[in-house]
Amino acid sequence: MSLRSASALGRHVICRSCESYSTLEKAIYPAVRRNVIRGNSGASLQKRWNSSTSPKPLGERIAEKYNLPIFRVNSDRLQLIEQPSKFYEKLLDIIRNSKKRIFLASLYIGKTEHELISALSSSLKERKELKVTILVDRLRSTREGDYRDGEKSTESCASLLAGLQSQFPNQVEIRAFRAPDLPAWLETLVGKRFVEGWGLQHMKIYGGDDSVMISGANLSNDYFTNRRDRYLFMDDKTVSDYLYELLMTASRYSYSLRATGTPSQHASYQLDWDEGARLDMKIDEQPTGPTGWKRRMGSQVERMTYEWKQRTEAARPTDSDSMDIVPLIQMGPMKVQQETTCVPEVLSYANERPNSQLYFTTGYFSINPQYAEWILKGQFQSEMITASPKANGFYGSKGVSRHLPAAYTWLTNRFWDKLVAKNRQDQVKINEWNKQGWTYHAKGIWFSPKVDSKPTLTLLGSSNFGIRSAKLDLECTFLIDAHRSSKLQTRLQEEIDELKRDAKDQVGQEMFERPERKVHWGVKVAARIIRRML
């Protein structure tokens, strides 16, 4: 691999003035901002937490410490879905049964997902009062460029959604998020695909009326058939309302996609910055332009977090078979850092219990150094699962992207070397997931209080727990405390067992010495340069 190819690999992976606060914000939210948005983990707070005379469950402790909302949901209203096909079936059920609202947030929708669009169209035709809001990433959804009628090469997620919007202009609102502070000249210079590395809308929220799913899966054929991920379905109005408001908040700072062509399966479109005027939400701030809105968006997420904390405190039922859900929003450019503040608390909690067990999985082994350090120095047992090169979504692809599986192999090798240096290789096991004809996209953390016990806590959502998730993308992950629910604990254990069933190849020195695992120096150089975008 030449230096020129290494540079091209870097470019490919790159694909993957502030308003003042209102008087109300100045009066109420400063302390909330210190804890929720910036992540205050100072010694005084840690001391108060550790010295509590009546320790609360971990989910409650984290929510209380960082002023986050906490939702208590009965286990009968929650379902962990095990297969991509079941995820797709549940998604179609939500669409077909919703009467008032459908709200979807994804990186993109596959440009050939006509069955999905047809299901939306049928529901819209049957129910004139139904409103559909879809949030996608602008760069990823317009990668193919402007749509030209009759030219299949120009069909895209955006043109597909424009086709739906053209048929139901008063019922469908399409929003396209574009990373802040991304100059137009950079997009022109490196192209839409490469510039995606500067940040994406990465949340995966799929809701209708009072039901909602949160996942790491996007909406395209491979995620419905042979790409392994995780999926959580909830039939709970309060959680659904919260995620709807989160989606609408992000949509407010996104472009409105409007069809300009005649109604058809795909249509031409334009993208307008409309200040959120077309959204079904109250807009009480002064208008803002398409640049310079980061702080305002962060402030609005902060206010939303504070208000939902108050609401959930006032109405938190006690149920013997329920679980606590703490949403963790991560929007690095807006200084919203709930995930990167709270995940270390989970790892610290595990570290205080040497007999505990931590499971960690990600399809892309580029772990946030903050998390990696806890695993490297921790007293707890760890099992990690990542994609084998053949289960990596870029395996066998054309061009420089074919080198990406090797880049993740190199990052795994570096982590393994650190384990050996700290003599932790017996406490931390890493296995690669591989299943013929499938790719691996699952991500999550599970905590068990004892090595042989079932998990009592998990993190599930869109985050890959890497530097990119922390710094660049919009993410939503649920921290789920299941200490009261034996049903969910059993299901979480089954989920781990299912993932481990196809993760047989153990990472170690022998693996890295195999001829096919040798990584070209050019890949190593490129991966080091663009590490935060992997």
Q: What is the 3-state secondary structure (H, E, C) of 116-151?
A: HHHHHHHHHHHCCCCEEEEEEEHHHHCCCCCCCCCC
Residue 191 reports pLDDT greater than 80: no
The verdict on 167 and 280 lying in the same domain is: yes
Last residue of a domain, one of 286, 312, 333: 286
User: Looking at the domain assignment, is residue 291 inside a domain?
Assistant: no
User: Looking at the domain assignment, is residue 294 inside a domain?
Assistant: no
User: Residue 181's pLDDT band (boundaries 50, 70, 90)?
Assistant: confident
Mean pLDDT confidence for 97-102: 98
Last residue of a domain, one of 267, 286, 305: 286
Mean pLDDT confidence for 265-294: 83
Output 17 or 350, whichever has higher pLDDT: 350
Cα separation of 212 and 232, whole Å? 8
Q: Exactly one of 12, 204, 443, 524 is catalytic; name it.
A: 204
The verdict on 187 and 329 lying in the same domain is: no
Cα separation of 158 and 408, whole Å? 30
Residue 42 is predicted with a pLDDT of: 39
User: Looking at the domain assignment, is residue 314 inside a domain?
Assistant: no
Write the single-letter amino acid at 466: G
Q: Exactly one of 12, 90, 111, 202 is catalytic; name it.
A: 202
Residue 129 is predicted with a pLDDT of: 97
Tell me: the pLDDT tens digits for 101-138?
999 999 999 999 999 999 999 999 999 999 999 999 99
Residue 393 reports pLDDT greater than 80: no
User: Looking at the domain assignment, is residue 225 inside a domain?
Assistant: yes
CATH number at residue 389: 3.30.870.10
Q: Is 118 exposed, middle or buried (0-12, 13-18, 19+ CB in 10 A)?
A: middle
The verdict on 245 and 373 lying in the same domain is: no
Report the first-to-last Cα separation within the chain, whole angstroms: 19
User: Looking at the domain assignment, is residue 296 inside a domain?
Assistant: no
Residue 395 is predicted with a pLDDT of: 58
User: Residue 397's pLDDT band (boundaries 50, 70, 90)?
Assistant: low
Question: Annotated catalytic, 266?
Answer: no
Tell me: the pLDDT tens digits for 302-333?
999 999 999 998 766 667 788 999 999 999 99
Question: Annotated catalytic, 524?
Answer: no
Most confident listed range (204-208, 372-376, 398-402): 204-208
Residue 29 is predicted with a pLDDT of: 47
Find out whether 412 and 385 touch, Cβ atoms under 8 Å: no
Task: Of 55-59, 181-185, 354-358, give the lowest mean pLDDT range.
Answer: 181-185
Residue 298 reports pLDDT greater than 90: yes
Average model confidence (pLDDT) for the chain? Answer: 87
User: Looking at the domain assignment, is residue 245 inside a domain?
Assistant: yes
The verdict on 387 and 524 lying in the same domain is: yes
Residue 140 reports pLDDT greater than 50: yes
The verdict on 356 and 429 lying in the same domain is: yes
Give the helix ranges, DSSP H, for 226-337: 237-252, 294-314
User: Looking at the domain assignment, is residue 47 inside a domain?
Assistant: no
Last residue of a domain, one of 262, 286, 310: 286
Residue 401 is predicted with a pLDDT of: 60
| Among 372, 385, 347, 366, CA closest to 424 | 372
Q: Exactly one of 209, 236, 473, 481 is catalytic; name it.
A: 209
User: Residue 49's pLDDT band (boundaries 50, 70, 90)?
Assistant: very low
The verdict on 274 and 338 lying in the same domain is: no
Residue 227 reports pLDDT greater than 50: yes
Output 443 or 149, whichever has higher pLDDT: 443
Q: What is the pTM of this model?
A: 0.89
Residue 278 is predicted with a pLDDT of: 85
The verdict on 282 and 334 lying in the same domain is: no
> Could you tell me the residue range of the domain that residue 500 belongs to?
3-16+323-533
Share of the chain above pLDDT 90, in %: 67
Task: Of 70-84, 171-185, 382-396, 463-477, give the lowest mean pLDDT range.
Answer: 382-396
Most confident listed range (55-59, 283-287, 420-424, 477-481): 477-481
The verdict on 260 and 341 lying in the same domain is: no
Locus of tokens 């179609």: 92
Output 36 or 279, whichever has higher pLDDT: 279
Question: Annotated catalytic, 209?
Answer: yes
Find out whether 130 and 98 touch, Cβ atoms under 8 Å: yes
Tell me: the pLDDT tens digits for 228-274?
999 999 999 999 999 999 999 999 999 999 999 788 899 999 999 99
User: Looking at the domain assignment, is residue 37 inside a domain?
Assistant: no
User: Residue 98's pLDDT band (boundaries 50, 70, 90)?
Assistant: very high
The verdict on 269 and 343 lying in the same domain is: no
Residue 19 is predicted with a pLDDT of: 37
Task: Of 149-163, 185-199, 303-317, 431-445, give the lowest mean pLDDT range.
Answer: 185-199
Share of the chain above pLDDT 70, in %: 84
The verdict on 275 and 336 lying in the same domain is: no
The total domain count for the chain is 2
The verdict on 332 and 270 lying in the same domain is: no
Mean pLDDT confidence for 369-382: 94
The verdict on 198 and 342 lying in the same domain is: no
